[in-house]
Structure 1
Amino acid sequence: MALYKRKNSCFYYCEIKISGKTIIRSTRTTKKTLALRFESQLRETLYRQHVLGDRPTITIAEAIQEYASSKKGAVNQQNLNTQVRTLNAQLSRVYPLQSELHSLNGGHLTRLVSLRRKDGVAEGTIRLMLTTLKGVINWSKSAGYLQPDNLVIQKIRVNNQRTRTLSNHEESRLLERLMLNKSPDDYDLVVLLLDSAARLNEIQQLRWDSVDLKNGEIYLWRTKTNTESIVKLTDRSLEILKRRQTIRKHSELVFPSKTGGLRRTTPKSIQNVYKELGLEGFCTHSIRHTTASKLVKNGMSLFAVSKLLGHSNISMSQRYSHLEQKAVANQAVEILNNN
């Protein structure tokens, strides 16, 4: 029987056999007329999926939720949660979240970008929102759900060419001031960042089992490329880690939070020093740019710097290309003057 009631339920159930499979679904209704309508719609849907090869559908709200669930346990979990909340709030302005994902189109996204620009948010913020949406769509595609037709997520260009870096004088002042902070973590963290050119979260998730003091190396997990890199320690970074190991407590992390867990952001005590020294436009990620710029200025190739930074390809290091050109020009004139 295609439609029936179970002894332990007041709802009608429908049972449909198709392509050698038996599908049983609750109609979630006690009225037979509504149950028959449900059964007819389900039979049509199953026919399209199993016989015609149509893919199952999913609402945008469900897709966002499932995408977020698939990322649980990630190092950047807190940031991802913020991005998902933002995407839900902003996308709902142009597209009902209970609507099917495959009906999303370029017009919706054009209006969304326009609204966010009217809100006065930075282009980088808009790009991050669209990147999160792209992650949701890629997840739904890998999960086999029906996709939007010819949906193109526009690329938001952000001018990153003028990157804030520290001068030698500013770097010295920063380190001298951090040494006065109550927590030695502040000075130690910034030195490790300066000497490794690592991302903040890569140092914050560094564990002692990834530190080789004997060979002066640390093993960094690159969260953006899902690869591991070996970084040689400078003399001062090696001394810092040796000192920290002698006073380490129970945490397996090199730079644990006050509660012993994983740090998520730059400590306020470091951010306050940036403000105190008047380092306008400077943030912790600027430390990475500072080290990369210093290396290129002193003759290291873009390819080598790209490897050190853990970039997936050299194009991501092009922001330093003008520095490489200047270094090469200086090397060339030195050679020519001596010959």
Structure 2
Amino acid sequence: MSIYKRKNSRFYYCEININGKTLIRSTKTTKKSLALRFESQLRETLYRQHVLGDRPIITLAEAILEYATSKSGSVNQQNLDTQIRTLNAQLSRVYSLQADLHGLNGGHLTRLVSLRRKDGVTEGTIRLMLTTLKGVVNWSKSAGYLQPENLVIPKLRVNNQRTRTLSNHEEVQLLERLKLNKNPDDYDLVVLLLDTAARLNEIQQLHWESVDLETAELHLWRTKTNTASVLKLTERSLNILKRRYESSTQKELVFPSKAGGLRRTTPKSIQNVYKELGLEGFCTHSIRHTTASKLVKNGMSLFAVSKLLGHSNISMSQRYSHLEQKAVANQAVEILNNN
């Protein structure tokens, strides 16, 4: 018989042989009629998948949960959790989370974008939500699930204001003020960010085994692009790391939290200094823009800067193109004036 009960369970189980393999599943019911229906539906599903080549089906809620689980333990876990909560709350306005993922289409997302605009949120916030959804869909595709046929994820143009950077005066002022903080980590962290143009999480997850004090090199793992980079250290950054290594009681993380684990956000003590100095529109990621802008202004090509920043392609560095044009123009006039 294809359904039966086990001694240690009140539920019926079904046993199905397909393509030389035996599959056993609990029907999760004590009623024989329901168990037979479950077995029949499962047999049909397995036949379509294994014989006809149909892909398995997953609900939108299950896909989002599985995607989030696949990213568990990442350094951006806290931010991802926030995005997942937002995605669940907003998508449910236009499509049931308990419905199958493959039923989602572009019309649902067009309505969702319209609703979010009416909510008054920024285009950047909407795009971040859609980027999270794209991650869910890409995960489900790689996992072999049936895909939506008419899903077009809207591409939003975000008109960012001019990238916020520090002036030379503001940079000096910031570093001098950070020296006064009780925790030397604040000054050290910002200097490393200024001298490497690395992302905050790349420095905060930096291990001592990735620091070569003899060759003055950092070996970074770029979590955003899943690539490795080697960066040369400036003299001041090298001196800071030497001091930290000599005084460190643990030789794992270079910038551990108070509990000894990974830091995940900018320390409040640093954020308070931004506010105290009146650095409007400035955040820790602006330090990366500051260094990149400084390099381009002094003649480094966008291609070279994109490599330093760990961008996946040069188009990511186009925000500095106006600075490159000005630097080239200055180089040209200097050459012409001397010839």
The normalised TM-score by structure 2 is 0.96
**2:58 match:** 58
Aligned to 1:289: 289
1:304 aligns with 2:304: yes
Q: 1:295, CA displacement in angstroms?
A: 0.5
Query: Are 2:16 and 1:31 aligned?
Result: no
Write the distance in 2 (CA, Å) between the matches of 1:14 and 1:238.
Answer: 65
Q: Which amino acid aligns with 2:283?
A: C
1:110-137 C-alpha deviation (Å, 9 max, x unpaired): 2222222222222222111111111111
Q: Which moved more, 1:199-208 or 1:90-99?
A: 90-99
Deviation at 1:37, TM superposition (A): 2.1
**Superimposed CA distance per residue, residues 263-318 of structure 1 (whole angstroms, 9 cap, x where no aligned partner):** 11111111111111111110000000001001101111111111111111111101
Superposed displacement of residue 154, structure 1: 1.1
Q: What residue in structure 1 maps to residue 270 of structure 2?
A: 270
Tell me how far 1:251 sits from its aligned partner: 4.9
**Is 1:239 the equivalent of 2:239?**
yes
Q: Which letter does structure 1 place at the counterpart of 2:285? A: H
Unpaired stretches in structure 1, ≥5 consecutive residues: none
Question: What's the counterpart of residue 78 of structure 1?
Answer: 78
Matches within 5 A, 1:1-339: 1-160=1-160, 162-339=162-339
CA distance in 2 between counterparts of 1:336 and 1:55 reads 66
CA RMSD of aligned residues (A): 1.5
Task: Give 3-state SS (helix, strand or coil) of 1:320's partner.
Answer: helix
**Rounded Cα–Cα distance in structure 1 between residues aligned with 2:92 and 2:268:** 34
**CA separation in 1, counterparts of 2:228 and 2:12?**
55
- What is the Cα deviation at residue 21 of structure 1? 2.8
Q: Quote how far apart the aligned CAs of 1:161 are.
A: 5.9
Aligned residue-pair number: 339
Give unmatched runs, 5+ long, in structure 2: none
Counterpart residue type for residue 37 of structure 1:
R
Distance in 1 separating the partners of 2:160 and 2:316: 11
* AA aligned opposite 1:19: N
1:226-259 deviation digits (Å, cap 9, x = unpaired): 1111111111111111111221122511111111
Structure 1 contact 160–319 (Cα < 8 Å) conserved: no
Q: Measure, in 2, the Cα distance between the counterparts of 1:50 and 1:206.
A: 46
What is the CA–CA distance in structure 1 between the aligned matches of 2:303 and 2:162, rounded to whole Å? 20
CA distance, structure 2, for counterparts of residue 176 and residue 334 of structure 1: 35
- Deviation, 1:26, is 2.2
**Is 116-125 or 144-153 further displaced after alignment?**
116-125
The CA distance in 1 between the partners of 2:108 and 2:243, in whole Å, is: 55
Deviations 1:40-99 (A, max 9, x none): 222222221122211111111111111111112212122222222221222222222111
- 1:161–1:319: 8 Å Cα contact kept in structure 2? no
Specify the SS of the correspondent of 1:221: strand
Instruction: Give the SS at the match of 1:22.
Output: strand
Distance 1:175 1:4 in 2: 73
Pick which of 38-47 and 160-169 moved more.
Answer: 38-47
Counterpart contact for 1:220–1:228, Cα < 8 Å: yes
For residues 241 and 174 of structure 1, what CA distance do their matches in structure 2 show? 20
Tell me, in whole angstroms, the C-alpha distance in 2 between the residues paired with 1:98 and 1:189.
Answer: 45
C-alpha contact 1:251 1:260 (8 A) present in aligned 2: no
Q: 1:23, CA displacement in angstroms?
A: 2.8
TM-score relative to the length of structure 1 = 0.96
Q: Which moved more, 1:120-129 or 1:135-144?
A: 120-129
Question: Contact conserved, 2:245 with 2:251, CA < 8 A, in 1?
Answer: no
Cα distance in 1, alignment partners of residues 153 and 177 from structure 2: 45
Distance 2:123 2:290 in 1: 23
Identity of aligned residues (%): 85
